[in-house]
Structures are given as C-alpha cells and as structure tokens.
C-alpha cells in the first residue's frame, strides 16, 4: 500500500511538472512572437505608442523635515520598584 501511494505521488508530481513546463513554453512562445513583431515594426521605422497607464506621472515624493524631540524634564524622578533597584 505504501509503495502504491509513493508511485501515485511521483506520477502526480511528474504530471504537474510536465503541465507547468508546457504552460511556460506556450507563454514564452507568445512573448517571443510579440517581441519579433515589435522588432519588425521598429525596423520598418514606426514607433509603438506606449499605453496610457505607462505615461501617467507619478506623484512627487513628499519631503519630510526632521523635527527635534523635546528633551525629557530633569525634575524629580520616580523611585524604582524594589526588584528593579537591586
């Protein structure tokens, strides 16, 4: 029974690995095709228009000025508990 469970586990893992590799190959092929198409357009002398979301301006970073901390008063201090004083 244990050997059957191990066999099923390895088979399932192998199938998932093969499916993942196949999916990555399909996506890579689509990306490569798109890059080649864009390269042909660029060589023809046309410029691709950037998407509007890429052209939007980012808000300017806010500058923060450091403020000085108020020093603690040097007045009478509270006595420490007996366990902390030892």
Instruction: Check if the beta carbon of residue 41 is closer than 8 Å to that of residue 48.
Output: yes
pLDDT, mean of each 10-residue run, the chain (86 residues): 95 98 97 91 77 66 72 66 60
- DSSP annotation of 64 reads -
- CA dist 28 and 18 (Å) reads 15
Overall pTM > 0.95 = no
pLDDT for position 38? 87
Q: Would you say how long the chain is, in residues?
A: 86
pLDDT for position 82? 66
pLDDT for position 23? 98
């Amino acid at each position: 029974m244990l050997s059957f469970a191990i066999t099923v586990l390895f088979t399932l893992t192998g199938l998932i690995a093969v499916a993942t590799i196949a999916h990555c190959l399909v996506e890579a092929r689509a990306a490569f095709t798109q890059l080649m198409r864009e390269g042909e357009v660029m060589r023809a002398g046309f410029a691709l228009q950037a998407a509007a979301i890429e052209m939007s301006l980012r808000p300017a970073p806010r500058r923060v000025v450091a403020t000085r901390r108020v020093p603690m008063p040097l007045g009478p201090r509270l006595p420490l508990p007996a366990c902390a004083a030892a």
